Amino acid sequence: TAMLEMCFANPEGGLEARLDKIRHADLIKILFSENPGVLIQVKHHRLVEKILDDHGVGFAIVARPVQERTLIIEKGDFRQEFDIDRLRDVWYRTSYLLDRRQSGEECAKERFEQYKHQPLQFRFAPSFTGKFADLGIDPARKEASGIKAAIIRDKGTNGEREMAYALYLAGFDVKDVHMTDLTSGRETLEDVQMAVFCGGFSNSDVLGSAKGWAGGFLYNEKAKTALTNFFARQDTLSLGICNGCQLLMELGLIYPEKGAEHPKMQHNRSH
């Protein structure tokens, strides 16, 4: 299934997998092993082989890209071809069946029929190399920059570690701030220049789009004061991601000049 999923994101091409280099004779155990492993596609396989050998990591070359839209599995005298597009529908159907219960038959069916017609397309600037050095980033930075960012989180939010690392790479000194730090007064955000409200499902989202999380600010004087003072300053920046964006909407912090008419997130036809 991992090889199939590598093909699902592309509208063209497939894989030819020759598994003779894997010593185990049982093909089912090879393809559906529960042992941990990593399947990677590389451009310069000899370079990668040397790196793996140098670190004592066992490996086997198992497949190569092909033009045909099929996954070909071969081992010894066995050969089987699988239609990638047909199996992608099989793979996606479970999501479609769940989506019917949430979004209704009409929207779920529309999404199921259209998903395969929106292939991923990545476009990078010609100058982009993907290397830290070319972006002026030192991933091994130890010294403080003096510019602080805070990750604001609550019960059920996630992605904090990834966001903290991204902010660190961008040059911030990052601190972790839980809502209990704000409600208790241990944290005031007075020394913070950027606040990031991460995504996830705060309080299980049982009350809707971050309403429970928003209540933690609105009905606690210390947390409310810290947030109000932070946004009143002229030297601050904020970012709300997913559930965090819902929080900022609920608190009226996006276009606050509109007062009670500030934007709100409402149900659409696919709710």
Dump pLDDT digits (tens) for 245-269.
999 999 999 999 998 888 888 877 8
Query: Where is average pLDDT lowest: 57-66, 92-101, 110-119?
Result: 110-119
pLDDT given at position 265: 83
For residue 228, pLDDT over 90 is answered with yes
Could you give the count of Cα atoms lying within 13 Å of 226 in the half-sphere of its Cβ?
A: 27
CATH 3.40.50.880 domain residues, the chain = 143-261
Looking at residue 22, its pLDDT comes to: 86
Is residue 110 within 8 Å of residue 96, measured between CB atoms? no
Q: What is the mean pLDDT of residues 56-80?
A: 94
Computed over every residue of the chain, the mean pLDDT equals 92
User: If DSSP codes are grouped into helix, strand and coil, which group holds residue 131?
Assistant: coil
In degrees and rounded to multiples of 5, residue 220 shows phi and psi of: -130, 120
pLDDT for res 206: 66
CA distance 1 to 231: 48
CATH code: domain 143-261 is 3.40.50.880
Confidence of residue 207 (pLDDT cuts 50, 70, 90): low
Cβ burial, residue 101 (10 Å; 0-12/13-18/19+): exposed
Compute the average pLDDT of residues 214-225.
97
Give the mean model confidence (pLDDT) for residues 150-164.
95
